């Protein structure tokens, strides 16, 4: 690890959406320097062919992604398909800060891993959601960090305060709208522009999405006991952004003021999580390209439910920005270093 | 009423989105003929200036919208802001088929009207959702029809079968994604293209949307008792379409096969409602511009919920198409006359 | 050929965008009946899996696409990649009306074919753009029809009147914006929704697009001599539609009134081509899903150019609707039978 | 003027799109600090209500926009409707750096001002396009700067090198696609999301757009003589971005290598203008939110034209980023300070 002001970063999976976003953010980071880009299938090509927006890095050559190719960096970011990180990470130096944007090290329960992903459980790493109580302590000085999934980031930040404060029953219903970049860059017919523009669709309905056990894990920790999660993701015609609409039955006696207080208190000192003023509702545009989260909370007395809506950019706070935020903490840097606070709107 | 093959239709509010869609559909109707267009603020202008897509009707002059302007038609369609229909309708002949695309005559309970809309309750008319049990009988020969709201159309068709069959508890959670045309044609800053493209937002959260009591009414009728409805609408970047994601707690013993059977049976003879094959999920693109509804149902055993997703075009089956479908029934025409069955995709 | 009121139609390439649009339009055609769907790679699957919007045809089985599979229809529509039509068509009965949506039979000049497509020239068929002078006579009774490309349809209708009337120099500059469906349904990374939403891009710049010689052919015929065409297509974030902005240097003495007259006269009797009132400019939304073309013309005296803008739906008038329009003529049916005149807007 | 490291900036018109973008960029600027926001109609409201994405500035109160309200800043940015800047600027101290994002001080020719805007000509200020030859010298130390229009920025950077090098005739045809934010935040029906999504339209056809004389001015300066400009802007369904497709007749003897060399040389030392590698074409996504310009050039020998395509973000390099770039030069700061180099893609 360098003792100077700058740490070198290698990114593998740099030709995908998550890896590309890591590179974009590193272009503006005062202490982290993109030192190499890696990917399996595109090795040997110019990065500019594959990521035309990364103009300052256009002439970098994409290198292979084997563990030996990734040695020598202070920080390695793994932005690979699920199941590919664990084997690589196991061969990287324990002194290297390794940040996994994939799912391999998120789930603590081997049975949950086996059920939802299959194969051997690689073990959980410190979970890169610093806004959870006590989490910054676990991330400080860490050399292995598991970046949360994009949906779990939004849903956990939306519901954890209410569950922790005992305002609602542990029975959460989530319907989340996601931009298409969450589905990745592999060309599949249903992700063509012609298919997604002008259309909203549901997928993974009835509990089929792999982010569900991760939400159950984070929300269960907040509630101090098991939480049921009904999760339906939908695909909407935009590239980036998640709007998570979450609700749960109110416990007797919870009122709107109490609910608002719980959120105001939970996020009072957070740089990236904004509880909006009453009456203003989150939009994904307001956080586009930023590491921020916009949250609003309401009580529906007729239906007897607490409704919380959170907006994040799935690639920024939901993946790459969250990764860098945790890296900042692990390296002892200011938590906000290099992270945009303002969305690109309109 | 004409005894011939063709009925004349006058449309008021023809310069708005709902009224424009009525005109579009009439252009292809074998028995209904658009005979006049009306609107308040644009009277005297060519329709083509205001509705550039209505090319065959471009040279029609928009006429005023007072009751006397609307006499002489066999059918009058009112596509006006809420609260403007009742006074006009009261002065139209009882022999005229009057179809109200607004809310004035949907709610049966005067107290619900008073709470959600205010002012005097004009009384309920036959509700134009023919797919509800027994509803076609009420519409046959009717001369006054209240067209359902676009959200209630999608949510009612999604959840009524499960509630009627006793598969779920009467405690429904709905998160619906809507295209912007549902918000109308009045120019408001938050509806600008610059604001809505690339963004999803929530509104009316916590039970604030006026379509909620209408859903409670239709679902309560299906369930045979009160139904709690938590409804959160979201605005997504597309012009048309609603995707309603609905769920409710499973009653003990309900399984997936039973749920699927209930829906298959409910919609077996319906021309416009399609229960999709297992594994295929609704998209709004597949019903764009068509009078069809795509429905899918799933059981989530972990969360203990039934999840139903329905896609409609808010302007077609959700408003103008539904209006014409009911008019067809009222006039003794084939129910599908003039109504597109195929969405404009991709 | 059936002597009755209904002709059977077989569509091959029915799983693609052009073929799907042919099927959509046939669903509303009073005299043509979709009798079978064919495709190479998807044979054996339900059409509904591949074209979810074709709900009335969802249970049709996709059959193979060899010539013997396509026998027995009154009409065969070929919606195949360029170069695949000629060999199939050569084996179909001369009594069958064969309509080729591909490029194989559009170019009259074997040298142009060789340069732009390569391989042997299959020979030109009657060109399916009935609005060209004298063209309806060539299509009446024809049993082989070449459907124009989508760009040439818009550009020819935009510029032919001015060239025929001698208003401009034969030196045309075209920049056309196209929705992504024009690029087809094959999954390619640059056509992913994530890439195309929020972005406009150019392609085939500098004369590289294969539709250029086709425009030179049609415009040259109108001008009665060679016409230079500079053509730049751009890809815009929508599924359907082409907006072609065309211009050419004014000949000395041409004024705005003369230009307008030429267009008014050329399209006075056309059901599908609308010269908009002065001051109103075409939008692709106004023709979405319709077989119509919206045209406007202006004179720029400072730049000394005539500017003409035309909007078409690339899949409807630009391909499938144009195919059916020509089929109607060939079969002696009303030219507008089964063809929507009103776009699906907003 | 402060002699320290930080200059205070006041932004008027901060509630609009251009002003909002200035604020967004200032949030990341190391030497410029947003010290106050102003606007006429919204004075007294929280900025967060009107610009929800400017979360770090949400609690700033919007103040009025009279000259006396704007005193005391080191830098004042005017992001006002055309015609409102001149009167305000005239009353601000000559020591204040005043940057006008409007048109009032762009045109050098009073006759052009009178024809295109009307009223009295306020006189031209140093033109804020540093990439023009000799322009940086005029901006260094300046206290009044006119920010170019968004279209002229893209078109000038696209065509000036070819005209300066004498590669083409002075007869330029431009068709530019613009996102809707270029049309501003005032709510007009044709800018509603429902109208613009899924649609491309033309406007200001035939030479009617006010940016035309500005292009004639900049291109004329490059060519050393009058240049004819045919300019057609189109509106495409995205919030941000301009793709300008420009062409002109090749002079005899110009070949592709020569053309490419001229551009490579013109932009070799520019931080923000990128001539793409051969075969790669600009997309607006690659520059979204960045101060960069992507350019590509091609020769079409058949049509005898040079075709140049340029992509900019109309709000960033096209307005607010260009403003800050010029401010950096005027204040002696590094030209790239605070300006994103990487677009937010996908």
Question: Taking CA atoms, what residue in C is nearest to D298?
Answer: C206
Cα–Cα distance between C301 and A336 in angstroms, integer? 56
Cα–Cα distance between A203 and A329 in angstroms, integer? 35
Nearest CA to B172 out of B306, B281, B311, B310 is that of B306
pLDDT surpassing 80 at residue A207: no
Interface check A30 vs C, CB under 8 A: no
Interface check D110 vs A, CB under 8 A: no
Burial of C252 (0-12, 13-18, 19+ CB in 10 A): exposed
Cβ-contact C284, C313 below 8 angstroms: yes
- C236 chain-D contacts, CB cut-off 8 A: 177, 200, 236-238
Buried b (16+ CB within 10 A) or exposed e, A2-41: eeeeebebbbbbbbbbbbbbbbbbbbbbebbbbbbbbbee
Interface check A305 vs B, CB under 8 A: yes
A240 and B198: CB-CB below 8 Å? yes
pLDDT at B2: 42
**Pair B120, B16 in one domain:** yes
Q: Which residues contact C75 (CB under 8 A, 6 or more apart)?
A: C7, C8, C9, C10, C32, C96, C97, C98, C99, C327, C331
Structure tokens at C317: 């008038």
Cβ-contact A218, C227 below 8 angstroms: no
Compute the average pLDDT of residues D86-106: 96
Q: Distance from first CA to last CA of chain B, Å, rounded?
A: 41
A205 and B296: CB-CB below 8 Å? yes
Cα–Cα distance between C201 and D282 in angstroms, integer? 6
Cα–Cα distance between C312 and C285 in angstroms, integer? 9
In three-state secondary structure terms, D315 is: coil
Q: Which helix (H) or strand (E) holds D33?
A: strand D32-38
Cα–Cα distance between A296 and A307 in angstroms, integer? 8
**Pair B139, B190 in one domain:** no
Q: Which of A268-282, B199-213, C327-341 has the lowest mean pLDDT?
A: B199-213
Compute the average pLDDT of residues D8-23: 98
Cα–Cα distance between A177 and B179 in angstroms, integer? 13
Cis peptide before C346 (omega within 30 of 0): yes
Residue range(s) defining the domain that contains residue C71: 7-147+319-331
**Pair B137, B220 in one domain:** no
Distance from CA of D16 to the nearest CA of C (A): 20
Question: Taking CA atoms, what residue in A is nearest to B309?
Answer: A202
D294 and A52: CB-CB below 8 Å? yes
pLDDT surpassing 70 at residue D4: no
3-state secondary structure labels for all residues of chain C: CCCCCCEEEEEECCCCHHHHHHHHHHCCCCCEEEEEEECCCCCCCEHHHHCCCCHHHCCCECECCCHHHHCCCCEEEECCCCCCHHHHHCCCCCCCEEEECCCCCCCCCHHHHHHHCCCCCCCCCCECCCCCCCHHHHHCCCCEEECCCHHHHHHHHHHHHHHHCCCECCEEEEEEEECHHHHCCCCCHHHEHHHHCCCCEECCCCCCCCCHHHHHHHHHHHHCCCCEEEEEEEECCCCCCEEEEEEEEECCCCCHHHHHHHHHHHHCCCCCEEECCCCCCCEHHHHCCCCCEEEEEEEECCCCEEEEEEEECCCHHHHHHHHHHHHHHHHCCCCCCCCCCCCCCC
From the list A201, A202, A230, which residue is nearest B303 (CB)?
Answer: A230
- Which of D47, D48, D55 is most worth mutating to test chain A (most A CB atoms within 10 A of its CB)? D55
- C296 chain-B contacts, CB cut-off 8 A: none
pLDDT at B119: 87
Compute the average pLDDT of residues A193-197: 98
From the list B192, B198, B238, which residue is nearest D192 (CB)?
Answer: B192
Report, as ranges of residue numbers, the positions in chain C whose pLDDT lies below 70. 1-4
**Pair B122, B192 in one domain:** no
B199 and A307: CB-CB below 8 Å? no
**Pair A73, A214 in one domain:** no
Q: Which residues contact B96 (CB under 8 A, 6 or more apart)?
A: B71, B73, B74, B75, B76, B143
Cis peptide before D346 (omega within 30 of 0): yes
Cβ-contact C271, C337 below 8 angstroms: no
Q: Tell the residue number behind the tokens 């006397």, with chain if given.
A: B68
Q: Please give the DSSP secondary-structure letter assigned to residue B100.
A: E
C177 belongs to a structural domain: yes
| DSSP bridge pairs for D305 | D249, D300
Q: Would you place residue B5 in the very low, low, confident or very high pLDDT band (cuts 50, 70, 90)?
A: confident
Interface check D290 vs A, CB under 8 A: yes
A53 and D277: CB-CB below 8 Å? no
Q: What is the pLDDT of residues D244-294, one digit of tens each?
A: 999 999 999 999 999 999 999 999 999 999 999 999 999 999 999 999 999
C275 belongs to a structural domain: yes
Compute the average pLDDT of residues B309-324: 98
A193 and C17: CB-CB below 8 Å? no
**Pair A323, A298 in one domain:** no
Cβ-contact A311, A286 below 8 angstroms: yes
Domain count, chain C: 2
**Pair D38, D163 in one domain:** no
Cα–Cα distance between D320 and D14 in angstroms, integer? 11
Cβ-contact A174, A230 below 8 angstroms: yes
From the list A193, A198, A237, which residue is nearest C191 (CB)?
Answer: A193
Cα–Cα distance between B316 and B337 in angstroms, integer? 14
User: What is the ipTM for the molecules in this complex?
Assistant: 0.96
C273 belongs to a structural domain: yes
C214 belongs to a structural domain: yes
- C198 chain-A contacts, CB cut-off 8 A: 238-239
B340 belongs to a structural domain: no
| Residues above pLDDT 70, as percent of chain B | 99
Distance from CA of D178 to the nearest CA of C (A): 9
| Residues above pLDDT 70, as percent of chain D | 99
Judging by DSSP bridges, how do beta strands D62-63 and D171-178 pair with one another? unpaired
A238 belongs to a structural domain: yes
pLDDT surpassing 50 at residue A103: yes
Burial of B269 (0-12, 13-18, 19+ CB in 10 A): exposed
A290 and D53: CB-CB below 8 Å? yes
Cα–Cα distance between C191 and C171 in angstroms, integer? 32
C305 and D202: CB-CB below 8 Å? no
pLDDT at D3: 44
Q: Tell the residue number behind the tokens 């598969």, with chain if given.
A: B167
Sheet holding B305-312, edge to edge: B201-202, B228-235, B171-178, B242-249, B305-312, B293-300, B273-275
Sheet holding C273-275, edge to edge: C201-202, C228-235, C171-178, C242-249, C305-312, C293-300, C273-275
Question: Taking CA atoms, what residue in D is nearest to C239?
Answer: D198
Q: Tell the residue number behind the tokens 């970098």, with chain if given.
A: A60
Interface check C283 vs D, CB under 8 A: yes
Q: Specify the pTM.
A: 0.97
Per the prediction, chain B carries an average pLDDT of 96
Interface check C81 vs D, CB under 8 A: no
Q: Which of C233-242, D100-109, D112-121 has the lowest mean pLDDT?
A: D112-121
pLDDT surpassing 60 at residue B4: no
pLDDT at B205: 85
- D179 chain-B contacts, CB cut-off 8 A: 194
Cα–Cα distance between B341 and B305 in angstroms, integer? 31
**Pair A163, A303 in one domain:** yes
Q: Tell the residue number behind the tokens 């920049």, with chain if given.
A: C175
pLDDT surpassing 50 at residue B59: yes
DSSP track, B25-93 = HHTT-SSEEEEEEE-STTTTSBHHHH-TT-GGGTTPBEE--SGGGGTT-SEEEE---TTSHHHHHTTS-
B48 and C342: CB-CB below 8 Å? no
Name the packing angle between helices C321-331 and C17-26 (round to 10°): 50
From the list C187, C189, C195, which residue is nearest A189 (CB)?
Answer: C187
**Pair C61, C40 in one domain:** yes
pLDDT at C4: 53
Cα–Cα distance between B311 and B327 in angstroms, integer? 22
**Pair C30, C111 in one domain:** yes
pLDDT surpassing 50 at residue D37: yes
Q: What is the pLDDT of residues D143-162, one digit of tens each?
A: 999 999 999 999 999 999 99
Q: Tell the residue number behind the tokens 């005299």, with chain if given.
A: C31
Tell which phi-psi region holds residue D134, choosing left (phi > 0), alpha (psi between -120 and 50) or beta.
Answer: left
**Pair C199, C273 in one domain:** yes
**Pair C118, C170 in one domain:** no
Q: Which helix (H) or strand (E) holds B325?
A: helix B321-331
Angle at C290 between CA C286 and CA C293, to 5 degrees: 65
pLDDT at A4: 53
Interface check B181 vs D, CB under 8 A: yes
pLDDT at B3: 44
Q: What is the pLDDT of residues C223-261, one digit of tens each?
A: 999 999 999 999 999 999 999 999 999 999 999 999 999
Q: What is the pLDDT of residues B288-305, one digit of tens each?
A: 999 999 999 999 999 999
- B19 chain-D contacts, CB cut-off 8 A: none
pLDDT at C206: 82
Compute the average pLDDT of residues B123-128: 97
C340 belongs to a structural domain: no
Q: Any idea which residues of D carry the catalytic annotation?
A: 150
Q: Please give the DSSP secondary-structure letter assigned to residue D277.
A: P
> For the domain that residue A155 is a member of, what is the CATH number?
3.30.360.10
B residues 184..203 contacting C (CB < 8 A): 185, 197-198
Nearest CA to D96 out of D108, D83, D78, D82 is that of D78
> For the domain that residue C51 is a member of, what is the CATH number?
3.40.50.720
B285 and A199: CB-CB below 8 Å? yes
Chains in contact with A, where contact requires at least 3 CB pairs less than 8 Å apart: B, C, D
From the list A194, A200, A300, which residue is nearest B238 (CB)?
Answer: A200
Q: Would you place residue A1 in the very low, low, confident or very high pLDDT band (cuts 50, 70, 90)?
A: very low
Compute the average pLDDT of residues B315-341: 98
């Amino acid at each position: 690890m360098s003792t100077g002001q700058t740490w070198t970063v290698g990114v593998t999976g740099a030709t995908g959406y998550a890896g590309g976003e890591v590179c974009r953010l590193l272009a503006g980071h005062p202490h982290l320097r993109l030192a190499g880009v890696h990917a399996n299938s595109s090795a040997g090509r110019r990065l500019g062919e594959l990521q035309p927006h990364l103009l300052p890095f256009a002439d970098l050559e994409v290198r292979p992604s084997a563990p030996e190719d990734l040695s020598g960096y202070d920080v390695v970011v793994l932005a690979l398909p699920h199941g590919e990180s664990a084997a690589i990470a196991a061969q990287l130096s324990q002194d290297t800060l390794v940040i996994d944007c994939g799912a391999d090290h998120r789930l603590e329960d081997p049975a949950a891993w086996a059920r939802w992903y299959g194969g051997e459980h690689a073990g959980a790493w410190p979970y890169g959601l610093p806004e959870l109580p006590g989490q910054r302590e676990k991330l400080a000085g860490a050399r292995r960090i598991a970046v949360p999934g994009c949906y779990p980031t939004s849903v956990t930040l939306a519901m954890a305060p209410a569950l922790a404060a005992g305002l609602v029953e542990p029975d959460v219903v989530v319907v989340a709208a996601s931009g298409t970049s969450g589905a990745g860059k592999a060309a599949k017919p249903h992700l063509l522009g012609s298919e997604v523009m002008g259309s909203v669709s549901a997928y993974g309905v009835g509990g089929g999405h792999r982010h569900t056990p991760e939400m159950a894990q984070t929300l269960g920790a907040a509630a101090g006991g098991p939480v049921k999660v009904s999760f339906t993701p939908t695909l909407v015609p935009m590239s980036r952004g998640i709007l998570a609409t979450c609700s749960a039955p109110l416990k007797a006696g919870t009122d709107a003021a109490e609910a608002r207080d719980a959120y105001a208190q939970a996020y009072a000192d957070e740089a990236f999580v904004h509880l909006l003023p009453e009456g203003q509702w989150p939009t994904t545009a307001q956080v586009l390209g930023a590491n921020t989260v916009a949250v609003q909370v309401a009580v529906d007395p007729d239906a007897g439910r607490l409704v919380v809506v959170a907006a994040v950019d799935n690639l920024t706070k939901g993946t790459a920005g969250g990764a860098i935020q945790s890296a900042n903490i692990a390296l002892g840097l200011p938590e906000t270093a290099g992270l945009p606070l303002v969305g690109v709107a309109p």
